[in-house]
């Protein structure tokens, strides 16, 4: 069975699902090099969130649909994944599950930030965002 890696990026209103909710979700299929889902949602609990800044662009959330409308489609997209990645993927999965999205337990989640910290702790230099795609971590010493 071939591996299908999906990259998750969420925009949330708080640090945990108990005190925040999802207002934006992007899912990218890295092997196919295409975005498979990209949407902003109307917050259900947060009345103060009329807009959110995403990538320097102000997005009006008042005209958006709630996340619950998209749950079935998101589940279909994630059901084909064998690996979920992202900067805060464990947190993102907790938010998605709290929003009612079923994610199979056998899906492996790898956080880019956790991998970065492990590399730094083991003495491997981690490149910063330089725009050079050929830049790879190199052993120190």
**CA–CA–CA angle 117, 33, 99 (5° rounding):** 65
pLDDT at position 37 is: 96
pLDDT at position 3 is: 79
**CA–CA–CA angle 89, 107, 94 (5° rounding):** 40
Question: What distance in Å separates the CA atoms of residue 7 and residue 79, rounded to the nearest whole number?
Answer: 13
DSSP-based three-state secondary structure for 72: helix
Helix (H) or strand (E) holding 109: strand 108-111
Q: Mention every residue, 6+ apart, whose C-beta is less than 8 A from residue 35.
A: 26, 27, 28, 29
pLDDT at position 49 is: 67
Question: What distance in Å separates the CA atoms of residue 141 and residue 138, rounded to the nearest whole number?
Answer: 10
pLDDT at position 94 is: 92
Structure tokens at 97: 């599950």
Regarding pTM above 0.85, the answer is no
Residues lower than pLDDT 50 in the chain? 132-141
Instruction: Give the chain's largest Cα–Cα span.
Output: 55
């Amino acid at each position: 069975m071939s591996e299908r890696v999906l990259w998750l990026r969420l925009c949330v209103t708080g640090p945990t699902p108990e005190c925040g909710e999802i207002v934006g979700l992007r899912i990218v299929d890295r092997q196919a090099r295409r975005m498979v889902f990209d949407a902003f949602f109307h917050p259900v609990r947060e009345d103060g969130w009329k807009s959110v800044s995403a990538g320097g662009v102000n997005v009006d959330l008042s005209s958006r649909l709630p996340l619950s409308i998209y749950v079935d489609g998101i589940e279909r997209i994630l059901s084909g994944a064998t690996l979920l990645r992202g900067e805060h993927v464990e947190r993102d999965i907790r938010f998605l599950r709290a929003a009612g999205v079923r994610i199979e337990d056998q899906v492996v989640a790898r956080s880019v930030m956790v991998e970065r910290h492990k590399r730094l702790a083991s003495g491997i230099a981690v490149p910063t965002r330089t725009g050079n795609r050929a830049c790879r971590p190199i052993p120190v010493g």
